[in-house]
């Protein structure tokens, strides 16, 4: 539509025509607005009708898809599988994943009924929890395990939540072991991704073994009716609402557990610090005819009273523990004459700081267990022997760990260990350690030691320990020549150069007539921590690596012996190596872990500085 043409200049007649045309145009605009509104309303109604029709078709399709899924489920070959075979599959799954019962019971109604009728798959309790969660989780687990199946229990109580660690850009940082090291392995509480939902994944470095640990929800009174064990309430609570049950968590849990002591085959309970209901451990008392392994460990070295529990039973107490072979008690009270500390194969004791046992009573603990194979003892307080110490031969011990008070060197002087393979010493030594170790090797007829560690671990309350000149091995050449089978050597707090010279290429000594031999020809792993070095420390390290790991071929044979190549080198808080030396070491050794001493000079973090 073209625009009207008006004459110029405006006249009375043209102005009247313009007013008329304006009014007619406005009427036409209003008419079109009305027609457009009617068309839009009609279109909106068509869209609503179409959307409604689409929704109806989608609901019908969803119903049909459910019918298809139900029909396919009914036609599934697995549904035709006999229950006996399905139960066997459940048992296979349980062997690989001890917590699989929770997942199997959540698949469908028939699987849930079968899972609940199979007590064996509920017999391994793997629980990482806090005292704010419901203690009825344990009750539920125990009820489903029946009345006769032996129980394998691992419970990890997280009282204090650890702060998240910053990302580590490289391997050249200080790696601090657990405060329980070296007496206890790391706590592996990682969750396999194919076992639990993503929101239950927990990354927590320092559990015994590689078994996964489940984190079920807090059960409610209707827990048995839930289709999935991972439903329920979130464990995150408002900071202003602390459930009253948290004060009694331990009493409730150990009430249920103690009722089933007759079925305990393995019991592991670890907690990171003291908690309100810790006195509930007193309930661990009485007979446990199936028990093979027992552990109660605390990370925190707290001060406890002597609970009237099984490890504190007197020697005259009659307790039925015929199968007990492994005991671990760390930062918990025990008596040296307890009937629990008899006839063991593995013994791991870390005494309370307030415990001060005479040396002869510690030796008495070992003498009550002539079949010991693995021993780890840490006593921060030791008193001189009351009765004369007797020589004790432990013919089956292949691993010995001693840590703590300097009087423990006298305990080492009383032992004969003919098949010893691993020796770890973290004692506040006052005398030269090489004399004590050499005497042990001589008495034991040169056992095939493959691992030796001296003052290398980081222990709790490290500031109280002293590694002075008397505790430093001085004559490395003599000691290392007595260890031809040694594969792993970790040393802390010694002079760096003499050790590296002893491990390097043998050299003639004009003052002595001797046959040149490689020191520790089987050595593969070398760890050095807080070893003070002079100007030639880095040079001696390079020379030692060059001798044992030449760029081409193998090291030269001396005395008919060719040494093994180093496969791992740990170098912590000793001296600065420099980027060029690090790059060179990485070309010669498969794995190199180095931390610069300038990164951390805290005396608590580095007890040997």
Q: What is the pLDDT of residues 174-184, one digit of tens each?
A: 333 333 333 33
**Other beta carbons less than 10 A from residue 423's beta carbon:** 23
Q: Are residues 209 and 273 in the same domain?
A: yes
Q: Is the pLDDT of residue 555 over 70?
A: yes
Q: Is the pLDDT of residue 158 over 80?
A: yes
Q: Are residues 422 and 489 in the same domain?
A: no
Q: Are residues 425 and 545 in the same domain?
A: no
Gyration radius of the chain's alpha carbons: 37
Residues 171-192, mean pLDDT to the nearest whole number: 36
Q: Is the pLDDT of residue 104 over 60?
A: yes
**Among 239-253, 280-294, 584-598, whose mean pLDDT is lowest?**
239-253
Question: What integer pLDDT is reported at residue 2 of this predicted model?
Answer: 73
Question: What integer pLDDT is reported at residue 79 of this predicted model?
Answer: 80
Question: What integer pLDDT is reported at residue 462 of this predicted model?
Answer: 36
216 vs 502 pLDDT, higher one: 502
Q: Can you tell me the distance from the alpha carbon of 204 to that of 543, in angstroms, rounded to the nearest whole number?
A: 40
Q: Are residues 268 and 398 in the same domain?
A: no
Per-residue pLDDT band for 556 (boundaries 50, 70, 90) equals: confident
Q: Are residues 483 and 533 in the same domain?
A: yes
Question: What integer pLDDT is reported at residue 553 of this predicted model?
Answer: 83
Q: Is the pLDDT of residue 599 over 50?
A: no
What is the residue-averaged pLDDT of the chain?
Answer: 80
pTM for the predicted model, two decimal places: 0.75
Q: Of 379, 388, 387, whose CA–CA distance to 406 is shortest? A: 379
62 vs 354 pLDDT, higher one: 62
- List the structure tokens of 85: 């075979």
- List the structure tokens of 453: 């560690």
Q: Can you tell me the distance from the alpha carbon of 346 to that of 183, in angstroms, rounded to the nearest whole number?
A: 12
Q: Is the pLDDT of residue 464 over 50?
A: no
* Contacts with 15 (C-beta within 8 Å, 6 or more apart), sequence order: none
Question: What integer pLDDT is reported at residue 33 of this predicted model?
Answer: 94
Question: What integer pLDDT is reported at residue 161 of this predicted model?
Answer: 56
The answer as to whether 549 is a domain residue is yes
Per-residue pLDDT band for 200 (boundaries 50, 70, 90) equals: very low
- Give strand pairing partners of 570: 527, 593
The answer as to whether 464 is a domain residue is no
Are 275 and 302 in contact, with CB atoms under 8 Å apart? no
**Boundary (domain end) residue, out of 430, 449, 468:** 449
Q: Is the pLDDT of residue 297 over 90?
A: yes
- Phi (first) and psi of residue 24, to 5 degrees: -60, -40
Digit-coded pLDDT (tens) for 319-376: 899 999 999 999 999 999 999 999 999 999 999 988 899 999 999 999 999 999 999 9
- DSSP label of 201: -
**Residue whose entry in the numeric block shows the structure tokens 């079920």:** 216
Question: What integer pLDDT is reported at residue 576 of this predicted model?
Answer: 84
Q: Is the pLDDT of residue 201 over 50?
A: no
Q: Are residues 394 and 414 in the same domain?
A: yes
* Burial class, 462, CB count within 10 angstroms (exposed 0-12 / middle 13-18 / buried 19+): middle
Question: What integer pLDDT is reported at residue 1 of this predicted model?
Answer: 67
Question: What integer pLDDT is reported at residue 587 of this predicted model?
Answer: 92
Q: Is the pLDDT of residue 514 over 80?
A: no
**Boundary (domain end) residue, out of 324, 354, 384:** 354
Q: Is the pLDDT of residue 468 over 50?
A: no
Q: Is the pLDDT of residue 590 over 80?
A: yes
The answer as to whether 538 is a domain residue is yes
Q: Are residues 487 and 604 in the same domain?
A: yes
Question: What integer pLDDT is reported at residue 62 of this predicted model?
Answer: 95
Total structural domains in the chain? 4
Q: Are residues 499 and 399 in the same domain?
A: no
Residues 534-547, mean pLDDT to the nearest whole number: 88
Q: Is the pLDDT of residue 263 over 80?
A: yes
Q: Are residues 330 and 251 in the same domain?
A: yes
Q: Is the pLDDT of residue 216 over 70?
A: no
Q: Is the pLDDT of residue 196 over 50?
A: no
Q: Find the domain containing 534 and state its range.
A: 477-609
60 vs 604 pLDDT, higher one: 60
Question: What integer pLDDT is reported at residue 212 of this predicted model?
Answer: 41
Q: Are residues 382 and 496 in the same domain?
A: no
Q: Is the pLDDT of residue 229 over 70?
A: no
Q: Is the pLDDT of residue 112 over 60?
A: yes
Digit-coded pLDDT (tens) for 431-452: 778 889 999 999 999 999 999 9
Per-residue pLDDT band for 245 (boundaries 50, 70, 90) equals: low
Q: Are residues 591 and 570 in the same domain?
A: yes
Question: Vertex 112, ends 108 and 117: CA angle to 5°?
Answer: 155
Question: Vertex 12, ends 7 and 17: CA angle to 5°?
Answer: 65
Q: Are residues 71 and 185 in the same domain?
A: no
Number of Cα atoms under 13 Å in the Cβ half of residue 201: 7
Are 473 and 489 in contact, with CB atoms under 8 Å apart? no
**Residue whose entry in the numeric block shows the structure tokens 């062997």:** 95
- Give strand pairing partners of 129: 157
Residues 126-134, mean pLDDT to the nearest whole number: 88
The answer as to whether 171 is a domain residue is no
- DSSP label of 86: H
Q: Can you tell me the distance from the alpha carbon of 293 to that of 517, in angstroms, rounded to the nearest whole number?
A: 44
Number of Cα atoms under 13 Å in the Cβ half of residue 544: 24
Q: Of 319, 390, 326, 329, whose CA–CA distance to 360 is shortest? A: 390
Per-residue pLDDT band for 495 (boundaries 50, 70, 90) equals: confident
Task: Summarize the chain as % helix, strand, coil (round to 5).
Answer: 35, 15, 50
């Amino acid at each position: 539509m073209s625009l009207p043409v008006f004459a110029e200049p405006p006249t009375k007649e043209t102005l009247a025509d313009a007013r008329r045309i304006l009014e007619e145009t406005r009427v036409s605009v209003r008419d079109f607005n009305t027609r457009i509104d009617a068309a839009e309303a009609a279109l909106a109604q068509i869209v609503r009708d179409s959307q409604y029709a689409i929704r109806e078709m989608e609901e019908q399709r969803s119903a049909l898809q459910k019918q298809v899924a139900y029909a396919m489920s009914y036609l599934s070959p697995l549904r035709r599988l006999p229950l006996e075979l399905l139960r066997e599959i459940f048992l296979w799954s349980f062997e690989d994943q001890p917590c699989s019962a929770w997942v199997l019971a959540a698949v469908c109604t028939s699987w849930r009924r079968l899972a609940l009728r199979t007590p064996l798959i509920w017999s391994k309790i793997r629980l990482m929890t806090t005292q704010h969660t419901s203690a009825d989780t344990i009750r539920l687990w125990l009820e489903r395990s029946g009345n006769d199946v032996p129980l394998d229990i691992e419970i990890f109580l997280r009282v204090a939540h650890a702060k998240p660690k910053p990302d580590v850009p490289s391997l050249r940082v200080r790696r601090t072991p657990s405060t329980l090291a070296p007496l206890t392995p790391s706590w592996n509480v990682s969750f396999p991704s194919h076992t639990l939902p993503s929101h239950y994944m927990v990354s927590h470095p320092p559990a015994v073994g590689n078994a996964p640990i489940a984190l079920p929800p807090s059960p409610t009174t209707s827990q048995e009716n839930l289709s999935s064990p991972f439903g329920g309430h979130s464990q995150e609570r408002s900071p202003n609402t602390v459930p009253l049950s948290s004060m009694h968590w331990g009493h409730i849990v150990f009430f249920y557990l103690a009722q089933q002591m007759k079925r305990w085959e393995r019991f592991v309970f670890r907690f990171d610090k003291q908690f309100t209901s810790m006195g509930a451990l007193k309930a661990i008392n009485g007979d446990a005819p199936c028990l093979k392994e027992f552990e109660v460990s605390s990370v925190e070295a707290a001060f406890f009273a002597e609970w009237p529990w099984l490890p504190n039973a007197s020697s005259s107490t009659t307790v039925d523990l015929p199968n007990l072979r492994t005991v671990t008690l760390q930062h918990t009270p025990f008596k040296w004459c307890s009937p629990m500390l008899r006839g063991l194969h593995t013994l791991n004791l870390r005494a309370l700081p307030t415990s001060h046992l005479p040396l002869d009573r510690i030796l008495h603990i070992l003498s009550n267990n002539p079949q010991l194979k693995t021993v780890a003892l840490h006593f921060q307080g030791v008193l001189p022997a009351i009765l004369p110490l007797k020589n004790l031969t432990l013919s089956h011990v292949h691993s010995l760990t001693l840590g703590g008070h300097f009087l423990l060197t006298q305990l080492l002087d009383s032992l004969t260990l003919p098949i010893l393979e691993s020796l770890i010493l973290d004692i506040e030594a006052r005398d030269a350690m090489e004399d004590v170790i050499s005497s042990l090797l001589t008495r034991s007829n040169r056992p095939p030691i493959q691992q030796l560690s001296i003052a290398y671990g980081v222990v709790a309350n490290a500031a109280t320990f002293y590694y002075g000149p008397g505790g430093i091995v001085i004559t490395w050449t003599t000691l290392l020549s007595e260890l031809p089978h040694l594969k792993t050597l970790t040393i802390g707090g010694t002079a760096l150069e003499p050790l590296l010279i002893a491990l390097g290429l043998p050299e003639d000594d004009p003052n002595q007539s001797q046959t040149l031999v490689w020191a520790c020809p089987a050595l593969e792993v070398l760890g050095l921590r807080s070893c003070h070095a002079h100007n030639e420390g880095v040079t001696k390290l390079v020379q030692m690596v060059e001798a044992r790991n030449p760029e081409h071929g193998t090291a030269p044979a001396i005395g008919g012996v060719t040494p093994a190549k180093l496969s791992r080198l740990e170098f912590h808080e000793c001296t600065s190596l420099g980027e060029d030396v690090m790059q060179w070491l990485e070309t010669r050794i498969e794995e190199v872990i180095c931390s610069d001493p300038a990164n951390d000079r805290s005396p608590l973090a580095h007890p040997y500085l």
